Amino acid sequence: MAHSGPTPRRTGVWVLITVLVLISILGTLIVPIYARSSPYIGAFPFFYWYQLLWVPFVAILMAICYLVSTHGSRSSTSGPVPSGRDGSGEAR
């Protein structure tokens, strides 16, 4: 993903993002995890409330991804305006 000499810190950020993204995708891709009726919440079988709960959960994971990706770039670029032309906007 990086084209020139990624710092260890930036690599760490991308590893974290990759893990969070994979969790987000696999959570509902692996159907046997949740294709069951119990436990219930109220009248709702597990199949339904698991999926519905997964929506805000993924939103939170994505918000974390966004925050660490912007944080990583701010601390690794020098100068007030990161411009794409000189490649300093790397991890943004």
Instruction: Give the interface with another protein as residue ranges (CB under 8 A).
Output: 1, 3, 17, 20-21, 24-25, 27-32, 35-37, 42-45, 47-48, 51-52, 54-56, 58-59, 61-63, 65-66, 69-70, 81-87, 89-92
Task: Please identify, using beta-carbon distances, which residue of 8 and 81 lies nearer to another protein.
Answer: 81
Spatial distance between the Cα atoms of 55 and 68, rounded to a whole number of angstroms:
20
Tell me the chain's radius of gyration from C-alpha atoms. Answer: 19
Nearest distance from residue 8's CB to another protein, in Å? 19
Instruction: Please report, as a single letter, which amino acid is at residue 77.
Output: T
Nearest distance from residue 84's CB to another protein, in Å? 2
Nearest distance from residue 23's CB to another protein, in Å? 8
Q: Tokens 């950020």: give the residue.
A: 13
Nearest distance from residue 29's CB to another protein, in Å? 6
Question: Is the Cβ–Cβ distance between 6 and 54 less than 8 Å?
Answer: no
Torsion from C-alpha of 64, 66, 67, 71, nearest 10 degrees = 140
Task: Please identify, using beta-carbon distances, which residue of 12 and 70 lies nearer to another protein.
Answer: 70
